[in-house]
Amino acid sequence: MPIPQQLGRGDKMGRGPYEKSGIIRDNGLPPNRPVQENFEIPYPAEYLKKDGKSVTNILDHEMTVDIELIYMPFGEKDSGITWHKVTKKITLEKGGV
Amino acid sequence: MRVVTTAAVMALLALPLLTPLPGQTASVEGRKARTIDELAKMYDSTGCKECHEEIYKDWEKSLHAKSIYGTGRTAATIKTTITVGLMGWKHSGVKKPEDVENRHLAICTKCHLPQLADATDDVAKEIVRNVNIFMDPKSGDDARNKAEQQLIKVSINCLVCHQRNAITHKWVDGFPQKNEVYGSKEGSHPDPGHPVMKKSPIMSESILCGQCHGLGPNFELENPSQCGTLYGSYLWAYRAEGGQESCQECHMKKSKLGHNMQSYNDLNMGKSAVDFQVETLGYIWRDGSKMMPQALVKIEMINRAGHSIPDG
């Protein structure tokens, strides 16, 4: 969204159109330019010490992630419109060294 | 240039007439609308429905058809513009809602009701009264409905785009005339109120929409306001970078929405505007001696619209 500058001065965002003049920054999607977003999500795990060594006990090797692109005209998810939704199952290998 | 000549002749013919031709509006005679009803009559587009039924029905579904009432949010913003903005500013000349004149309301109506320029300040005051009733939680249902019905009478209708705002470069192409409608063809038009059909040089150009869908602060106002900045984004982030499509191509033709030219509220417009790719990877990150299982979710979005998203 183009973040409007309040009355064309300073670093504050304007509220209604009556006090918006200028743009502080735009955090929206620019046309025809790829925008990447990365998310790192930890799996549920217990971190233990065994014989003086760190041991990770992974509680679930599978994770299902819903990724949604939601347009929120009023800044609230509940009143938003889902444009895209992708569900991915992400699996960790078992075993290994 | 042919339009200039014809328009000038039509204007000269119209001036000496005491009785306006059917469909000619008060503004042609230099008289301004004094009520919402008069302004609605001056820009009455209901006759268009007779021949352009489908287009008219499409338009009725659009936000253009309720431009000062909107989803309710527009009316709410007009109210805060008055109470928080105009009444709060020392030099605005507005101490109470009754003080609001056209020049004040132009912050909103430059785009939400450009034909207000053809009305007296009484119409601005009537709009303010109705917006206040509509937005007042203490208003009864009946009063609220009446206010809503009054506000919905005036809007961005056929005659705003196909007449009033159909010509941007008036010194080159002539001033729009009240007995003419502007589209893609020249000829006669079987509507007694608008018997002449003219080709608008900008009807399929983005500049038509750009008149309202914003470059930034409206510096022609005594106190500049800025609602949308979309046309600025279209020019500088899309066209300047090689984009070639017009507003009409995406919002009317490709979308098949025609005159119901939705944007964010239409699911298909939203879906088609953004390419959305997701890749995932499960892996175990080693933080020193600690093994930490993680999922990486990589998202790539490419906005295929001709402007930044979101914008307005």
Q: Please tell me if residue A27 touches chain B, with a CB cutoff of 8 Å.
A: no
Give the single-character DSSP code of B26: G
Domain locations in chain A? Answer: 1-29, 58-91
- Would the CB atoms of A73 and B264 count as touching at under 8 Å? yes
Domain locations in chain B? Answer: 2-215, 234-245+263-303
Strands in B184-263 per DSSP E: 187-188, 196-199
pLDDT at B26: 44
Disruptive mutation site among A13, A21, A29 for chain B (greatest number of B CBs within 10 Å): A29
Cis peptide leading into B293, omega within 30 of 0? no
Q: Which is it for the CA torsion B4, B10, B12, B15, positive or negative? A: negative
pLDDT at B12: 34
User: Least CB-CB distance to B308: which of A21, A29, A47?
Assistant: A29
Which residues of chain B are within 8 Å of residue A42 when distances are taken between CB atoms? 292-295
Instruction: Using alpha carbons, select from B172, B262, B244, B261 the residue that is nearest to residue B205.
Output: B244
Rama region for A9: left / alpha / beta (φ>0; ψ in -120 to 50; rest): beta
Q: Between the CA of residue A89 and those of A42, A43, B275, B276, what are the distances in Å? A: 14, 12, 21, 17
pLDDT at B129: 97
Pairing status of strand B180-183 against strand B196-199: parallel
**pLDDT at residue A61 is higher than 80:** yes
As a residue count, chain B comes to: 312
**pLDDT at residue B295 is higher than 90:** yes
Q: With pLDDT > 90 as the criterion, what percentage of chain B qualifies?
A: 81
- Would the CB atoms of B241 and A32 count as touching at under 8 Å? yes
Beta bridge partners of B295: A41, B282
Question: How far apart are alpha carbons B177 and B166 in whole angstroms?
Answer: 10
Question: How far apart are alpha carbons B250 and B264 in whole angstroms?
Answer: 13
Q: Please tell me if residue A45 touches chain B, with a CB cutoff of 8 Å.
A: yes
**pLDDT at residue B191 is higher than 90:** yes
Which residues of chain B are within 8 Å of residue A31 when distances are taken between CB atoms? 233, 237-238, 241, 243, 303-308
pLDDT in tens, B146-177: 999 999 999 999 999 999 999 999 999 999 99
pLDDT at A16: 86
Instruction: Provide ipTM, 2 decimals.
Output: 0.91
Question: How far apart are alpha carbons B131 and B55 in whole angstroms?
Answer: 29
Give the single-character DSSP code of B33: B
B15 vs A1, which has greater pLDDT? A1
Instruction: State the SS3 of B135-203.
Output: HCCCCCHHHHHHHHHHHCCCCCCHHHHHHHCCCCCHHHHCCCCCCEEEECCCEECCCCCCCEEEECCCC
**Which range, of B12-16, B40-44, B86-90, B137-141, averages the lowest pLDDT?**
B12-16
Instruction: Using alpha carbons, select from B139, B199, B251 the residue that is nearest to residue B1.
Output: B199
Among chain A residues, CA nearest to B104: A18
Instruction: State the SS3 of A36-94.
Output: EEEEEEECCEEEEEECCEEEEEECCCEEEEEEEEEECCCCCCCCCEEEEEEEEEEECCC
Which residues of chain A are within 8 Å of residue B76 when distances are taken between CB atoms? none
Q: Which two tokens stand for residue B89?
A: 């500013």
pTM strictly above 0.80:
yes
Those residues with Cβ within 8 angstroms of residue B204's Cβ, 6 or more apart along the chain or in another chain: B184, B246, B248
Confidence of residue A11 (pLDDT cuts 50, 70, 90): very high
Give the single-character DSSP code of B204: T
Those residues with Cβ within 8 angstroms of residue B288's Cβ, 6 or more apart along the chain or in another chain: none
